[in-house]
Amino acid sequence: MRTELCDRFGIDYPIFVFTPSEKVAAAVTRAGGLGVLGCVRFNAADDLERVLQWMDENTDGKPYGVDIVMPAKVPTEGTSVDIDKLIPQGHRDFVAKTLADLGVPPLPEDEARSEGVLGWLHSVARSHVEVAVKHPIKLIANALGSPPKDVIDQVHAAGVPVAALAGSAKHARRHADNGVDIVIAQGHEAGGHTGEIASMVLVPEVVDAVGDTPVLAAGGIGSGRQVAAALALGAQGVWMGSAFLTAAEYDLGERLPSGRSVIQEAMLAATSSDTVRRRIYTGKPARLLKSRWTDAWDADGAPEPLPMPLQNILVSEAHQRMSESADPTAVAMPVGQIVGRMNEIRPVADIIAELVTGFEDATTRLDGIRG
Amino acid sequence: MRTELCDRFGIDYPIFVFTPSEKVAAAVTRAGGLGVLGCVRFNAADDLERVLQWMDENTDGKPYGVDIVMPAKVPTEGTSVDIDKLIPQGHRDFVAKTLADLGVPPLPEDEARSEGVLGWLHSVARSHVEVAVKHPIKLIANALGSPPKDVIDQVHAAGVPVAALAGSAKHARRHADNGVDIVIAQGHEAGGHTGEIASMVLVPEVVDAVGDTPVLAAGGIGSGRQVAAALALGAQGVWMGSAFLTAAEYDLGERLPSGRSVIQEAMLAATSSDTVRRRIYTGKPARLLKSRWTDAWDADGAPEPLPMPLQNILVSEAHQRMSESADPTAVAMPVGQIVGRMNEIRPVADIIAELVTGFEDATTRLDGIRG
């Protein structure tokens, strides 16, 4: 399974995997794909620096990338204390009452409280770029579209191509015009921030809209058949995320006696019908695992979610509390509809191997149909 | 492009096209696909009988099918007068005010008022089956899932296979257990009644769920690349609808000076972002062209849609008025996200030819990627 992107990036397969786990990212890279480490969880640049040093030592000199979250429109800036003041008390009360109703235990007294994901503040995302370009990264992707022009220039000056997610052909064209090198067409079925147009329609529209700019297909991809479908639609590769949240190497989050995190337990149990697209995680529409937490925000009397970045700061301690509890029915986690196919914990190398053989089987079957 | 379904149905291509237009259905059949005539618009069995006679005379002895709309749960029955009484006055007032606000002209005094689509009453759908099985039809599809067992038996006794739409693997499995012969996996991006799971995820789930029962992929298919993607996902054929609403042969609806209907003008202008999934057309969630009419139902103060079949009866005269006006910004029309690719009026034979050559091009490209 080789496209032009394999030569361009020095990878065996055009499989790009976004993951918050450096263990998974490194394993993807070692298995012949391109592991892309999500930076948004690093509020402190030093933490990212340490993890990228680890990546350098554990990728056998093979290529990897990083993913930042930089909104096109600059959001509210300031320290977390300043931003805290912008959150209405009614919202805080709703969160407290909901956690009590759901039976989510408080954090231990001595545990540090998460201050929320600050990675979508421009200042923090810029610090991620500063750190990353000093490492031998081969790609910087922005999960929220084109980064500002000076950031694109900075990344290009370091010899690194820029990728940007797009949920419509119009956005994709804008990214290409802005100098983005690779467009990721992210369909409605994808996890996290996602638009309304499904991959089957979106991918060929984006391919046709951006001319020579290569397109990765994202959303709904978890098997070799789906890789074949994505490439049939004209993509030069796939961008995956959800399917690697149940990789054996994924070690973020507290472990339950089963050896899995509470979020992994929830994902293993979910069907493709068990996701919702809501603004409650970040302030922008993102597909999440359906849970008693998302149900509470859908109920009568629940407040409207706040804009980015306030919403995530509002719910950050709630996320921390739920991820440290043992109840898989009350979790907050971005994941795509492909969660219905995530039914076992598998090593990254096995997932990649199935993508490759499944692609070969599907395309061989298509040859028989073409005759 | 041949799958087992081609031999089973005696067709050249596994392309099944649902259409309310007998002209389009016959042209699809003559072009080597299987034209499937939608019966829901025939409130009187005699009208359907006349049109099926026309089909018999215009399909050169090649196979065609029909599509009925029979909800699994029996809806409110009765004459249209009885049913009329169940519609709240507040809903009628909202419709009247909205049409006035949108500037939609009244119907001419002497024109018959549509009594609404009664085809989803079981009694009417059963009359469609009665009429259809006396013709040499090769397929009866039900747009709302498994028909009742006695209807399946009646159709099978006539030697005709039954197809049923499914929006989830669970529903698909139930259809297969009920004796349905072909499952149509209809993704979120499809026009008309549709679920939440997108085709990329739904199709392989349904294929895996129903064992040997053949699956047609529906939702998001309008080009040969999308046919290739659907078959890569494991479908044995495609079920299309929207893409043939702008076929040259489509002659339903009053013509504007352009030679097109107001609805066709609206579809030609729309992008893939210009659809919404709402209950306002039939009472069940259906994807519609976004318009000032759908916007009005989304506005603050709009009433909740009524259940099937009341909602369609409520809005039937409004639909008639909008379809006879000349304003493409105020229309009510089920269509899928593929509407963004419906940018010209083309003969059915040209659409089919592009599907076939596009499939060949896409699968040849995949061969190069497989190496």
Q: What CATH code is carried by the domain that includes residue A24?
A: 3.20.20.70
| Residue B78 reports pLDDT greater than 70 | no
**Residues in A touching B337 (Cβ below 8 Å):** 197-198, 201
Which of A306, A323, A340 finishes a domain?
A: A323
What is the least distance, in Å, from the CA of A346 to any CA of chain B?
19
Say yes or no: B167 and B223 in one domain: yes
The SS3 of residue B368 is helix
Pairwise CB contact (< 8 Å): B337 & A2: no
Across the interface, which of A168, A229, A272 has its CB nearest the CB of B205? A272
Q: How many Cα neighbours within 13 Å face the side chain of A216?
A: 27
Would residue A344 count as lying in a domain? no
The mean-pLDDT minimum among A221-225, A300-304, A335-339, B111-115 falls in B111-115
Would residue A340 count as lying in a domain? no
Say yes or no: B164 and B177 in one domain: yes
A102 pLDDT tier (thresholds 50, 70, 90)? very high
Which of A247, A273, A291 finishes a domain?
A: A247
Could you tell me whether strands B286-289 and B275-278 are parallel, antiparallel, or unpaired per DSSP bridges? antiparallel
Would residue A294 count as lying in a domain? yes
CA–CA distances in Å: residue A186 to residues A164, B62, B90, B94, B169: 10, 41, 41, 38, 23
A109 pLDDT tier (thresholds 50, 70, 90)? confident
Give mean pLDDT, residues A206-228: 98
Pairwise CB contact (< 8 Å): A187 & B199: no
Say yes or no: B144 and B31 in one domain: yes
What is the least distance, in Å, from the CA of B9 to any CA of chain A?
16
Would residue A301 count as lying in a domain? yes
Pairwise CB contact (< 8 Å): A200 & B221: yes
Say yes or no: A46 and A141 in one domain: yes
Digit-coded pLDDT (tens) for B106-164? 998 888 877 666 666 778 889 999 999 999 999 999 988 899 999 999 999 999 999 99
Digit-coded pLDDT (tens) for A31-90? 999 999 999 889 889 999 999 999 999 999 999 999 998 876 665 566 666 777 899 999
| Distance of alpha carbon A263 from alpha carbon A332, whole angstroms | 8
CA–CA distances in Å: residue A369 to residues B6, B16, B183, B235, B370: 11, 16, 19, 11, 16
**Residues in B touching A2 (Cβ below 8 Å):** 369, 371
Q: Supply the ipTM of this predicted assembly.
A: 0.96
**Residues in B touching A338 (Cβ below 8 Å):** 201
Say yes or no: A188 and A278 in one domain: no
Across the interface, which of B189, B364, B369 has its CB nearest the CB of A200? B189
Give mean pLDDT, residues A243-261: 96
- Averaged pLDDT of chain A: 94
**pLDDT of amino acid B121:** 74
Across the interface, which of A200, A232, A337 has its CB nearest the CB of B362? A232
Pairwise CB contact (< 8 Å): B198 & A337: yes
| Residue B353 reports pLDDT greater than 90 | yes
**pLDDT of amino acid B79:** 61
Its sign, for the CA torsion A186, A191, A197, A199, is: positive
Say yes or no: A42 and A60 in one domain: yes
| Distance of alpha carbon A179 from alpha carbon B100, whole angstroms | 48
CB-based contact B216:B163 (threshold 8 Å): yes
Token pair 């996890």 in the structure block, residue:
A191
CB-based contact A154:A135 (threshold 8 Å): no
Say yes or no: A143 and A27 in one domain: yes
Q: Which residues, listed in sequence order, are joined to residue B35 by a DSSP beta bridge?
A: B17, B64
Give mean pLDDT, residues B212-238: 98
Pairwise CB contact (< 8 Å): B221 & A199: no
Pairwise CB contact (< 8 Å): A366 & B232: yes
Say yes or no: A41 and A190 in one domain: yes
Say yes or no: A217 and A159 in one domain: yes
Say yes or no: B99 and B162 in one domain: no
Pairwise CB contact (< 8 Å): A229 & B273: no
Pairwise CB contact (< 8 Å): B272 & A370: no
**pLDDT of amino acid A317:** 93
Say yes or no: A198 and A301 in one domain: no
Tokens of A308: 């980015």
Domain count along chain A: 2
| Distance of alpha carbon A208 from alpha carbon B244, whole angstroms | 21
Chain A residue with Cα closest to B1: A370
Pairwise CB contact (< 8 Å): B2 & A371: yes
What is the least distance, in Å, from the CA of A49 to any CA of chain B?
37
Pairwise CB contact (< 8 Å): A363 & B371: no
Across the interface, which of A189, A197, A359 has its CB nearest the CB of B201? A189
**Residues in A touching B218 (Cβ below 8 Å):** none
Pairwise CB contact (< 8 Å): A369 & B200: no
B240 pLDDT tier (thresholds 50, 70, 90)? very high
Crossing angle of the two packed helices A262-269 and A310-323, in degrees rounded to 10: 90
Would residue B333 count as lying in a domain? no
Domain of A216 in residue numbering reads as: 4-75+120-247
**pLDDT of amino acid A120:** 67
